[in-house]
Amino acid sequence: MARFGHLLVTTLLLAGAAEQARAQRPVALLEKAGRQAEEFAALFPALACTEKLTQLKYGQGNKVANRRESVFDYLILLETAGDSFTVEESRLEKSRPQKEPPQALLATTGFAVMQVVFHPHFQGSYDFKEIEPETIGGVVWKRVQFEHLPGHASPTVLEVKGREYPIAWRGTAWLAPDTGAVNKIQTELREPLADIGLEALTSSVEYGPGAASVTVWVPKLAVVEARTAHQHWRNQHEFSAYRRFEVSSEQKLQELPKQ
């Protein structure tokens, strides 16, 4: 049975601009969401936070067979070069070291930035369609469905035993009507990855205000589930205590003795 490795956001080249003209695209809303995603991509790497990760592996009868809880200092690393856009995560474990579980757990990274599907670098790889809004907590949220376009580059890959498989997502996002900021985004595979036995892979990511000094909405909760014919994993990422990431250095000069 395949052992699943890291799921991460990786380099994506700009897709064809012709897809921007698709008739059903909610152009004005996508422009708002695109500006929000650009601001998020610019500011989020300057933040650090605490991440609590709960990894579950289910056995027969959907009972938990293995469980691990870890706490990390969490930081996003983002690089841009020309038309490429790369996101990676840095984790420094704060919890006590734990024994390796008898069965492999699912390793998931990159889901905190799932909203970058709205970034101008990525929009050309998806078909977007606005659907009926939904009222939650007294707020009428705009809703947009999206689906990866066949033949276009994918912003995410699945790593299995050192091999990368591009992922074709489809899903729904809840957007603030005035700014286009993402409040929630849910995704699933456009179709199963039969060659590696992956029947389902889903995610749900929630965003909200961070610290007072943070001007963009930040990830609060990400839940990821994966299923094969005989295995089921669930990872929950909780993000809190956002703060500015600062690097300080100190240089000391020592006078050399006179010869």
Domain membership flag for residue 196: yes
Domain membership flag for residue 154: yes
Output the pLDDT for position 18.
37
Domain membership flag for residue 255: no
What residue has token string 């689906």?
Answer: 147
Q: Which of 11-15, 58-62, 195-199 has the lowest mean pLDDT?
A: 11-15
* Contact (CB, 8 A) for 196 and 7: no
More confident residue, 104 or 257: 104
Q: Which of 3-7, 38-42, 56-60, 164-168 has the lowest mean pLDDT?
A: 3-7
| Tens digit of each residue's pLDDT (9 = 90 or more) over 235-252 | 999 999 998 876 544 444
Q: Could you tell me the residue range of the domain that residue 187 belongs to? A: 7-243
Q: Which of 18-27, 58-67, 180-189, 247-256 has the lowest mean pLDDT?
A: 247-256
Output the pLDDT for position 8.
36
Domain membership flag for residue 120: yes
Output the pLDDT for position 19.
42
What residue has token string 């959907």?
Answer: 62
The answer, as to whether pTM is greater than 0.85, is no
Domain membership flag for residue 65: yes
CA distance 258 to 44: 50
Domain membership flag for residue 254: no
Domain membership flag for residue 81: yes
The total of structural domains in the chain comes to 1
Domain membership flag for residue 48: yes
Q: What is the mean pLDDT of the chain?
A: 82
How many CA atoms, within 13 angstroms, populate the side-chain half-sphere of residue 164? 10
